[in-house]
Structure 1
Amino acid sequence: MNIFHNIPLIASLAAIITAQGLKIPLGFISDGTWNLSRAIGTGGMPSSHSAAVVSLATVIGMNDGWSSSMFAIAAVVSAITMYDAAGVRRHAGMHASSINRIAKSIKFLHPHSSTEIKQDDELKELLGHRPIEVFGGAVWGVVVGLVMYYLSTISHF
């Protein structure tokens, strides 16, 4: 099978790219600023990881059947990925935020310290997702998966 005819793979990649692209206008709606770096960053609405795995599971379910072993694998990987995005990775980001605040307060308390904390030294705080962002990514993944599946059936990809 030609890799360019692999609809589950194409759907997953399309879900990632479009979810990352959606972060720019959704960010503008949320905070009123256009930030193009959202398209390549982690975190934010919608979760591109969730969109990717759910679109994969959707296409596999539609193509191979909802009771297939392939769908079961994709569904379990989706659940683990989404749990990780909203759990472990989100908490790692919260820890990074706390560590950054502590580092800044140390500098504030000891202004003559030889240790200078630069912007580049700060830990990345936006690593994971709030549950609503994971849910948004999952919904987007279903939409992309269904669109890609139906496009493949009518065009015989």
Structure 2
Amino acid sequence: MDWFSQLISNKLLLSGFAAWVAAQILKTIVHAIVNRKIDWPRLIGDGGMPSSHSATVTAVAASSGLYYGLGSFQFGVTVILAFIVMHDAMGVRKETGKHAIILNDIVEFIDSMGRNVSPEEKLKEFVGHSPLQVIAGAALGIIVAFVVRF
């Protein structure tokens, strides 16, 4: 069981997981306030405010800086990874969501012409993030890293 105690005492892993959980809970609350109803699948869903991807990778990067120093290999690797993930969330994943909206409209049009389309065929539209959502997620990740550390 030594591996398990090592796993649960890993502060970088703990920071990343705690940031993800916090972001998912906040995302569900924000979505409920904006839409005036609770959408439980938001607890594990993609997209929304704040970005859980950004929160997770930023928490890991900030924690690596706090534990190993800003000049460490660990900090360098995690910061680069964080930038890649956050850029992807705003770029490729955001565009994927836009494409899904258009394709779903096309499928809905085809469906209106008599072809029955099952709900499983509908693409997920809520997958990317705006810059504000990414920044909010990054700020949350930094806060969580400091809370876990101190």
TM-score, with structure 1 as normaliser: 0.88
Tell me the CA shift for residue 69 of structure 1: 1.5
Residue of structure 1 in register with 2:89 after alignment: 85
Give the equivalent residue in structure 2 for 1:129. 129
Aligned to 1:104: 108
Q: Separation in 2 of the partners of 1:24 and 1:92?
A: 22
Per the alignment, residue 73 of structure 1 pairs with 77
Counterparts of 1:34 and 1:103 in 2: how far apart (Å)?
27
1:14 aligns with 2:28: no
CA drift of 1:23 comes to: 1.4
Alpha-carbon shift at residue 106 of structure 1 (Å): 2.6
**Residue in 2 aligned with 1:61?**
65
Gapped regions of structure 2 (runs ≥ 5): none
Task: Give the structure with higher Rg (CA).
Answer: 1
Distance in 1 (alpha carbons) for counterparts of 2:135 and 2:56: 12
Match of 2:49 in 1: 45
One-letter amino acid of the counterpart of residue 135, structure 2: F
Gap change, CA 1:149 and 1:107, over 3 Å in 2 = same
* Runs of 4+ residues over 6 Å off in structure 1: none
Q: Work out the percentage of aligned pairs sharing the same amino acid.
A: 36
Alignment partner of 2:39 out of 26, 35, 42: 35
Any unmatched runs of 5+ in structure 1?
A: 151-157
- Deviation track 1:90-135 (CA, whole Å, cap 9, x = no partner) reads 1111101100101212333x33xxx311222111111111111111
Match of 1:155 in 2: none
